[in-house]
Amino acid sequence: MTTQFEPLDSGAVPRYAGIPTFMRLPQAEPAEVDIALLGIPYDGGATNRVGTRHGPREIRNQSSLMRRVHHVSGLSPYDRARIADCGDVPVDPMDLMRTLDLISAHYAGVKAAGALPLTAGGDHLVTLPILRGLAADGPVGLIQFDAHSDTYDSFFGGSRYNHGTPFRRAIEEGLIDPKRFVQIGLRGAISDASNYDFAKACGIRMIFIEEFTERGVAEIMAEARALVGDLPTYVTFDIDGIDPSQAPGTGTPEIGGFSTREAQLLVRKLEGLNLIGADVVEVAPPLDPSGLTALTGATIMFELLCVLAGVVASKGGK
Amino acid sequence: MTTQFEPLDSGAVPRYAGIPTFMRLPQAEPAEVDIALLGIPYDGGATNRVGTRHGPREIRNQSSLMRRVHHVSGLSPYDRARIADCGDVPVDPMDLMRTLDLISAHYAGVKAAGALPLTAGGDHLVTLPILRGLAADGPVGLIQFDAHSDTYDSFFGGSRYNHGTPFRRAIEEGLIDPKRFVQIGLRGAISDASNYDFAKACGIRMIFIEEFTERGVAEIMAEARALVGDLPTYVTFDIDGIDPSQAPGTGTPEIGGFSTREAQLLVRKLEGLNLIGADVVEVAPPLDPSGLTALTGATIMFELLCVLAGVVASKGGK
Amino acid sequence: MTTQFEPLDSGAVPRYAGIPTFMRLPQAEPAEVDIALLGIPYDGGATNRVGTRHGPREIRNQSSLMRRVHHVSGLSPYDRARIADCGDVPVDPMDLMRTLDLISAHYAGVKAAGALPLTAGGDHLVTLPILRGLAADGPVGLIQFDAHSDTYDSFFGGSRYNHGTPFRRAIEEGLIDPKRFVQIGLRGAISDASNYDFAKACGIRMIFIEEFTERGVAEIMAEARALVGDLPTYVTFDIDGIDPSQAPGTGTPEIGGFSTREAQLLVRKLEGLNLIGADVVEVAPPLDPSGLTALTGATIMFELLCVLAGVVASKGGK
Amino acid sequence: MTTQFEPLDSGAVPRYAGIPTFMRLPQAEPAEVDIALLGIPYDGGATNRVGTRHGPREIRNQSSLMRRVHHVSGLSPYDRARIADCGDVPVDPMDLMRTLDLISAHYAGVKAAGALPLTAGGDHLVTLPILRGLAADGPVGLIQFDAHSDTYDSFFGGSRYNHGTPFRRAIEEGLIDPKRFVQIGLRGAISDASNYDFAKACGIRMIFIEEFTERGVAEIMAEARALVGDLPTYVTFDIDGIDPSQAPGTGTPEIGGFSTREAQLLVRKLEGLNLIGADVVEVAPPLDPSGLTALTGATIMFELLCVLAGVVASKGGK
Amino acid sequence: MTTQFEPLDSGAVPRYAGIPTFMRLPQAEPAEVDIALLGIPYDGGATNRVGTRHGPREIRNQSSLMRRVHHVSGLSPYDRARIADCGDVPVDPMDLMRTLDLISAHYAGVKAAGALPLTAGGDHLVTLPILRGLAADGPVGLIQFDAHSDTYDSFFGGSRYNHGTPFRRAIEEGLIDPKRFVQIGLRGAISDASNYDFAKACGIRMIFIEEFTERGVAEIMAEARALVGDLPTYVTFDIDGIDPSQAPGTGTPEIGGFSTREAQLLVRKLEGLNLIGADVVEVAPPLDPSGLTALTGATIMFELLCVLAGVVASKGGK
Amino acid sequence: MTTQFEPLDSGAVPRYAGIPTFMRLPQAEPAEVDIALLGIPYDGGATNRVGTRHGPREIRNQSSLMRRVHHVSGLSPYDRARIADCGDVPVDPMDLMRTLDLISAHYAGVKAAGALPLTAGGDHLVTLPILRGLAADGPVGLIQFDAHSDTYDSFFGGSRYNHGTPFRRAIEEGLIDPKRFVQIGLRGAISDASNYDFAKACGIRMIFIEEFTERGVAEIMAEARALVGDLPTYVTFDIDGIDPSQAPGTGTPEIGGFSTREAQLLVRKLEGLNLIGADVVEVAPPLDPSGLTALTGATIMFELLCVLAGVVASKGGK
């Protein structure tokens, strides 16, 4: 498949030159492409340290270092699908509930346009309205790479919509099938022993880092793949799933996480699933003096892009 | 006057030792003191870059470098008034309107307790609920050191309460007497030529940095003092009034601001006014790699403290 | 004059959202506008510390903080001229002489398209090929704000084209009229007592920081304006003219420079001159941990833009 | 067991709010608690790069991110023991020998009060006076996680008390039983081939990182547990045992260290030992631009706290 | 063997004192020593982000933390060979081709003087002229630790000499025997599927990080050793072979690399090979805020030094 | 006068190349030169934040940016005097009293060798043993640029030798004539109203920043020159005299200090005095992320060097 949606050629234009779009791709509308790269510059869902509103811009900046062809598969996503930077989703930094509506409407539009969305957050709350936009007609499966379960009920005596609660809300709203929901990389102390009760009661498969360390990537992902099966599934990658030495710039770091080498292997094992979209969230540039977190985020995004391009290729494109 | 509210003696306990309270003071309740040092860890009013929620903690940290006796006056505020760290004001990071109510109630309590509040923000929106707490019985005068007028009407098609609007709201609510309101240090481009219309129509005295540069500290402050007169007056110091070389860690920096040497002289010229409280806002530690902004903020806070201690002394203490 | 070339409205789209173009303007071709904002991501002319190749991108990033209407004039450049981000100029990081040709050809094209170029460098060598593109038909006047004269002959036993030599080359090539050439802000030790001989012999008016400090902005700029007169004149602003406290991120910092307040006043005094273009060079983001240098560069660029918009307005636009 | 010594509830007070005590706990005296969290802001024992005097304060700051319930055990230390921030130990930055006496007297007091001390250093010399305070009535066992043996004899021709010598002194003084002393994670070149002679002669069990890498956590810790047995044992964790990618802010970094995932598993294997106290030392905030080292230190401190709470629980509390 | 070429004694002169030479060694000429430590402060070969021109100075600075005796072998290189800091190689930052000639001439001189060179770069292009200087009389073997193959043909339509091409040039010039050339640690996407064609066609043994992860250090290095055999072999260590969490300061970082623990084991497995020199390249201090990359580089250099000292010892010294 | 003591030619060897000595000068012994550049890597006198032990090395590093000929005088110090880097003075980081003796003996040697010492500290305590070495035969005059008087009596209940006390000790020891002692730039709150009593009683002329701001450089320095007269005088420049925006990396920063432009003018007004040496102290690189403080320190050192070269020239050299 030939396509006009190619990254700038780094053999002609240096990587640091030009206005930074995701992967140095052209800008386009979702209707023009198979995969829409999107940013959600919003961190109003953060209960602690903020800064992920700057995530999309800095991930774009670091994504200039990405190249075309995956070194393991030998395939270029740009040969398999039409892909572009579809810009940032509208948000209202002063109004959380309005922002949720703006985001869900936008993703409903992306879905209607026939594009698979690959998103750079933003805090993890943004996955809730993404799912509202994508899963309006029935619950989907979810594979979540994360240090935290994000299935709290509320904070501060009333906040039900924040980055600690999106997946409880999504289950309550029928957006996720909890039997097809797996969380990988959980760790870190919790505020109360009951914090995991909801997740356990729902049947979410929670895989803690200790279990991951013992069983390894292959076994864990085989289980995850079996669990979500062939039905539509969304993937969400919280950058704090990765160890803070490789992703320090995030609001709620937990030591003892995935190495990036593990993270890359994990994502590659998503190949062939029936994915409807993916995101990378919680990259907070003001907490990232060396830029490494955004680089890690951009590379995970490229790995996810390769997987999504496989989905497009398997369906014959638009 | 002797008092038990003394900073830790740096000749006995090194400045880097111990749990950092404001000025290394004891912790106490407002009712126990003449001047209450307070933090408001809230930046939900920011329309652009965030991080001032970390301001109170880092200003406390840097305030360990402050000493007791002002080198110009030869006076120690701790000899003239009972002063303590009264902790952080309750906030709800997920609910702006509730936070405004929490803050205003808290400051009404401080006022009722008979203490003068000196606050470390937080974004500039926090001055609105402070004024609600302090000026419930009639408008007060205001001296504002700032790069921005903060008298916008709204943002994002509906946000009427953010750090660009507090003083328009305060005038509308009858908290500030616009004829006794002076803004010093304004500069920077504006979004629309009409941005200053409200301020001008109200009669706010707007002093731009260019006028300040020409006329000098003495002349400007003589005018400001005459304008607010002997009636109750509040002082708000936005750290972005100071040049970003000396206060880089702030969300909306504007080059060409006050030097700190000028800023100190400006604050000292408040001596003798009928002040009811003061604040230092918009210090954003995540944007402040060297810590200089918090140090500058802590020092301005100390200068304001000396002035407020003079107010207490002139009234004979509690 | 109404125009479709407006910055994104920050009251609708937050300043940190979206793909960062200069001043959050649309992208366009020079032929569509009166003033073309351009980046030259090249630092192959640096003899010492490098990094200005990243200048255009980071100045674009920080320029998101710029607003529309100048607070002193009350005018918006976007009301007076069509202005857009015209992208980065092609460069070859591995071939200096080819890069000079690429740049000069590009600026000849901008000139032919009828647009005034306002450029973000890049090291100071880039001003040479800009002048080749703009002054092919006869020497122009030059106002240079800079710590260094940049009129060396050569380095390393043969390098005649580097950021220490552009203005000697430009005079030799007949691009600058040395009698209409003024340098403001010079300071710092020199390598050899003969370093200024060429400049003196040519008749360049060299104004050192000590003279500037004594005589002040108004007097200095009156002389500079008289010197360049009504004939075509180019303006080059090396960020190291400004004090390194306000512009630390540059390859050859010299303490004791302009304050930004002075720098802004200096640029405003260019109003009404017959300017054919301007640049801001030597911003080196890798040496700028707080981003202040790029912010300063973006603001100086906005001040220059206001002046250039006046030129357009005085000529009735395109 | 119910206790009033609970961390602030992060569901009510945001983690960045308030004055930072260890784990956001109340302040109290050792006599009131089972486990006393203490800081020693002293780095006068450092022979090379300094800055650990700031360790306690920054570990307190980052410990705001800690939560209540360990995710593996499902237990909260605060349910099992009374725990508080008991402040910083008095030190004299200008007098090393006096500081040693101040520290040892303080820990003798903590012991007399019946509390187990958990300390944040400071450089590694502080463990010597801690042991003097705790082991006055006979040698104890020691488990040391560290890149360095710290059993040198002297530096600079006479300095016998510095962070390279504490464990030789402690053995000489009869504070440690060298047969019940194990060092884990040793690595890095040494100054002289004889550097390990004393440790070998004493019978200290030295486990280098290469042996650790081959044998793994379970086997190593089984041996360490057998070695110290049921008798009283102290644990000292030098943050430089961890790899500098995860703990860069330390004075003597050595590449190739423990991952934090390994470190957490190592500490958890201390469960059930007869521990009399523990420390985390050598966190140097000025060398830690991202704050990751202090976060790592705070988390290791939490892991140690959970183990110490088990000791308290097993003994029925105070 | 006794030698006057000893590092400063850190038990007498603190590590932060004095003028920083490599390993705190004396300065000398190559003819006086067995192993010459050299810097090449040149990054004119970089196609993307620059800064490695500062590598030699900052590696020297961090090498002050290195000690004398390897903790695994128990041997000191300074007991086995005469080693000194032989300064920086002459370069011309404005003339790439001249710089290649300057470097190759210098290394021919080092070889003629009978010293083994151990070099701190600079970008990876510098290995080409090093090989020209060392392999003039016939191709050598090469062991390359690197994320990238560096066997591109050209960039920017004509640049044949840059840090993406050195090993293609070296093969074309007969400096390397491609059958005795192994690359270890390759990873990261590539610009075009054909990028590895040349390397494959030549017979370079390319070991990707995935294969390395599966097979482990021992097996990989056994194969590498067998491949290069007893014939003269050069070793080049690109710091980006190591994971960017441990070496963030480099121009082309790729996540998922070697841990330093693996890297140290890899280098130690070079023991006994017939090495003619080695280098550590691509350390870029301006991109390394914590200094960790230079520390990692200095430590890898020390590991290589120990191996080279073994070569000298096996040959009986000069 | 011709001399072999010339800085490396930056037109031949790039400024970032080579082993960093002060001003890129040769290394030599004091007896070989007229002016000895020395480092004292010691901060054991600091009562608060440390790190100046790294000052000499980082000032050397940044001094690579210095050039040869002063731009105001047109003179090169290297034409007027033999100048070299004479290395670091021996210190014992673990023994303050021994270090004082090591330093004073060293400076007595420098004096005996007939060289004028120009020193980079270290904390301000180092000036005391320097004066012991230089003023053994009678008190000298002192011009001190500083935010602090440093005439405290003691700290921590017994420390009489620290960076807050050197000038009280020097007066007590008869090293300084208090009638010929002027302090310029004092500011910042003090710990007790009595802090300045000793200085006042002795007759030290204390010039606070407020007086300096009003009277200006020329008038202040005229008074200072008259006060010290023609007799031997030492100059000490504490970098914290300069504003922390231009010198953030120091242990006790005070806002509102000298600008560097003022500082340069101040130092130049020392021309013609009978100077016996000078120092620049309190540069703390770990607190200086951008390196600006060391650059400022290196430039002030160059200004002092020019003045000292004038002293040498006026006496006809050695």
> pLDDT tens digit string along A171-229?
999 999 999 999 999 999 999 889 999 999 999 999 999 999 999 999 999 999 999 99
* E4 domain-assigned: no
Average pLDDT of span C278-303: 97
pLDDT digits (tens, 9 = 90+) for A261-296: 999 999 999 999 999 999 999 999 999 988 999 999
Residues linked to residue D208 through DSSP beta bridges, in sequence order? D186
Q: Note whether D232 and D308 are within 8 A (CB).
A: no
C35 three-state secondary structure: strand
Q: Note whether B181 and B197 are within 8 A (CB).
A: no
Vertex E272: Cα angle to E266 and E276 (nearest 5): 90
H runs (alpha helix) in C113-204: 127-134, 166-172, 197-202
Q: Note whether F46 and F52 are within 8 A (CB).
A: yes
Residues linked to residue C140 through DSSP beta bridges, in sequence order? C176
Residues linked to residue D137 through DSSP beta bridges, in sequence order? none
Q: Note whether D238 and D146 are within 8 A (CB).
A: yes
Q: How many CA atoms lie within 13 A of B39 on its CB side?
A: 30
Average pLDDT of span C25-53: 97
* B163 domain-assigned: yes
pLDDT higher than 60, residue C69: yes
pLDDT digits (tens, 9 = 90+) for F203-232: 999 999 999 999 999 999 999 999 999 999
E83-88 and E116-120: which strand pairing?
Answer: unpaired
* B13 domain-assigned: no
Q: Does E66 touch chain D (CB under 8 A)?
A: yes
End-to-end CA distance of chain B: 11
Average pLDDT of span D121-149: 97
Q: Does D50 touch chain F (CB under 8 A)?
A: yes
pLDDT digits (tens, 9 = 90+) for B151-204: 999 988 889 999 999 999 999 999 999 999 999 999 999 998 899 999 999 999
**What are the Cα distances from residue C192, in Å, to A161, C154, C196?**
67, 13, 9
> Residue F158's pLDDT is what?
85
> Residue A317's pLDDT is what?
62
pLDDT band at C48 (very low <50, low <70, confident <90, very high): very high
Q: What one-character-per-residue DSSP string does D209-229 give?
A: HHHHHHHHHHHHHHHHHHHHT
Contacting B residues, span 144-203, partner chain A, CB-CB under 8 Å: 155-159, 161-162
pLDDT digits (tens, 9 = 90+) for D181-232: 999 999 999 998 899 999 999 999 999 999 999 999 999 999 999 999 999 9
- What is the C-alpha to C-alpha distance for residues C197 and C202, in angstroms, rounded to an integer? 9
CB pairs under 8 A between A and C: 66
Two tokens at B279? 């604040």
Query: E strands within D113-232?
Result: 116-120, 140-145, 176-186, 205-208
Contacts of F291 in chain C (CB under 8 A): 248
- Local structure of residue E25 (DSSP, 8 states): P
Quick count: other Cβ atoms within 10 Å of Cβ E18? 18
**What are the Cα distances from residue E264, in Å, to C157, D254, D257, E145, E307?**
42, 12, 11, 11, 11
* D9 domain-assigned: no
User: Domain range holding D135?
Assistant: 22-315
Q: Note whether F293 and F249 are within 8 A (CB).
A: yes
pLDDT higher than 60, residue A2: no
Which CATH number does the domain housing residue B38 bear? 3.40.800.10
pLDDT digits (tens, 9 = 90+) for E72-82: 999 999 999 99
Residues of chain E with pLDDT > 70, as a percent, come to 98
Q: Which residues contact B126 (CB under 8 A, 6 or more apart)?
A: B40, B42, B45, B103, B119, B279, B281
Q: Does B57 touch chain D (CB under 8 A)?
A: yes
- Local structure of residue D81 (DSSP, 8 states): S
- What is the C-alpha to C-alpha distance for residues F265 and A306, in angstroms, rounded to an integer? 62
Q: Note whether C239 and C297 are within 8 A (CB).
A: yes
Query: E strands within chain D?
Result: 35-39, 83-88, 116-120, 140-145, 176-186, 205-208, 233-238, 275-281
Cβ-count burial D37-70 (b if 16+ within 10 Å, e if not): bbbbbbbbbbbbbbbbbbbbbbbbbbbbbbbbbb
pLDDT higher than 50, residue C1: no
Q: Note whether D102 and D90 are within 8 A (CB).
A: yes
H runs (alpha helix) in chain B: 55-62, 77-80, 96-112, 127-134, 166-172, 197-202, 209-228, 260-268, 292-314
Q: Note whether D306 and D146 are within 8 A (CB).
A: no
> Residue E292's pLDDT is what?
96
pLDDT higher than 60, residue E1: no
Q: Looking at chain E, how many residues does it have? A: 318
Considering its fold, how many domains does chain F have in total?
1
pLDDT band at B1 (very low <50, low <70, confident <90, very high): very low
* D191 domain-assigned: yes
Residues of chain C with pLDDT > 90, as a percent, come to 94
B303 three-state secondary structure: helix
* B148 domain-assigned: yes
The beta-carbon neighbor of C243 closest among F71, F72, F260 is: F260
Q: Does E13 touch chain F (CB under 8 A)?
A: yes
* F200 domain-assigned: yes
Average pLDDT of span A302-311: 98
Average pLDDT of span C230-249: 98
- What is the C-alpha to C-alpha distance for residues B194 and B209, in angstroms, rounded to an integer? 19
- What is the C-alpha to C-alpha distance for residues A100 and F44, in angstroms, rounded to an integer? 57
> Residue A1's pLDDT is what?
46
- Local structure of residue B26 (DSSP, 8 states): P
Q: Which residues contact A311 (CB under 8 A, 6 or more apart)?
A: A116, A273, A274, A275
3-state DSSP helix/strand/coil % of chain B, to nearest 5: 40, 20, 40
* E167 domain-assigned: yes
- Secondary structure, 3-state, E118-167: EEECCCHHHHHHHHHHHCCCCCEEEEEECCCCCCCCCECCCECCCCCCHH
Query: E strands within chain A?
Result: 35-39, 83-88, 116-120, 140-145, 176-186, 205-208, 233-238, 275-281
Q: Note whether C162 and C45 are within 8 A (CB).
A: yes
Q: Smallest Cα–Cα separation from C50: which of A291, E94, B248?
A: E94
Contacts of C12 in chain B (CB under 8 A): 156-157
> Residue D217's pLDDT is what?
98
Indicate the residue type of D53. R
pLDDT higher than 60, residue D160: yes
Average pLDDT of span C18-25: 97
pLDDT higher than 70, residue B3: no
Two tokens at E263? 């890297």
- Secondary structure, 3-state, A253-314: CCCCCECHHHHHHHHHCCCCCCEEEEEEECCCHHHCCCCHHHHHHHHHHHHHHHHHHHHHHH
> Residue A157's pLDDT is what?
82
Rounded to 10°, the helix F127-134/F96-112 angle is 40
pLDDT digits (tens, 9 = 90+) for B213-251: 999 999 999 999 999 999 999 999 999 999 999 999 999
pLDDT digits (tens, 9 = 90+) for D274-283: 999 999 999 9
Residue B148, sorted as left (phi over 0), alpha (psi -120 to 50) or beta, turns out to be beta
Contacting E residues, span 221-280, partner chain D, CB-CB under 8 Å: 243, 245-246, 259-261, 263-264
Query: E strands within chain C?
Result: 35-39, 83-88, 116-120, 140-145, 176-186, 205-208, 233-238, 275-281
- What is the C-alpha to C-alpha distance for residues E239 and E280, in angstroms, rounded to an integer? 7
The beta-carbon neighbor of B292 closest among F193, F244, F256 is: F244
Q: Does C96 touch chain E (CB under 8 A)?
A: yes
Q: Smallest Cα–Cα separation from F123: which of F193, F46, F24?
A: F46
E95 three-state secondary structure: coil
pLDDT band at E3 (very low <50, low <70, confident <90, very high): low
- Residue of B8, B10, B13, B19 to mutate, interface with D, max D Cβ within 10 Å: B19
Please check if D150 is assigned to a binding site. Answer: yes
pLDDT digits (tens, 9 = 90+) for B276-312: 999 999 999 999 988 999 999 999 999 999 999 999 9
Residues linked to residue F182 through DSSP beta bridges, in sequence order? F143, F205
Contacts of B19 in chain D (CB under 8 A): 19-21, 27, 57, 60, 85, 87-88
Average pLDDT of span C235-242: 98
Average pLDDT of span B96-123: 98
Q: Note whether E250 and E122 are within 8 A (CB).
A: no
How far, rounded to the nearest angstrom, does the alpha carbon of residue E86 sit from its chain's CA centroid?
16
* Angstroms from F307 CA to nearest CA on chain C: 14
pLDDT band at D1 (very low <50, low <70, confident <90, very high): very low
Contacts of B161 in chain A (CB under 8 A): 94
3-state DSSP helix/strand/coil % of chain A, to nearest 5: 40, 20, 40
The beta-carbon neighbor of F289 closest among D155, D162, D289 is: D289
Question: A92 vs B49: CB contact, 8 Å cut-off?
Answer: no
Per-residue pLDDT of chain F (318 residues; tens, 9 = 90+): 446 899 999 889 999 999 999 999 999 999 999 999 999 999 999 999 999 999 999 999 999 999 999 999 999 999 999 999 999 999 999 999 999 999 999 999 999 999 999 999 999 999 999 999 999 999 999 999 999 999 999 988 889 999 999 999 999 999 999 999 999 999 999 998 899 999 999 999 999 999 999 999 999 999 999 999 999 999 999 999 999 999 999 999 999 999 999 999 999 999 999 999 999 999 999 999 889 999 999 999 999 999 999 999 999 865
3-state DSSP helix/strand/coil % of chain E, to nearest 5: 40, 20, 40
* Angstroms from A135 CA to nearest CA on chain C: 26
- Residue of F47, F210, F242, F245 to mutate, interface with B, max B Cβ within 10 Å: F245
Query: E strands within D20-175?
Result: 35-39, 83-88, 116-120, 140-145
* Angstroms from B76 CA to nearest CA on chain F: 8
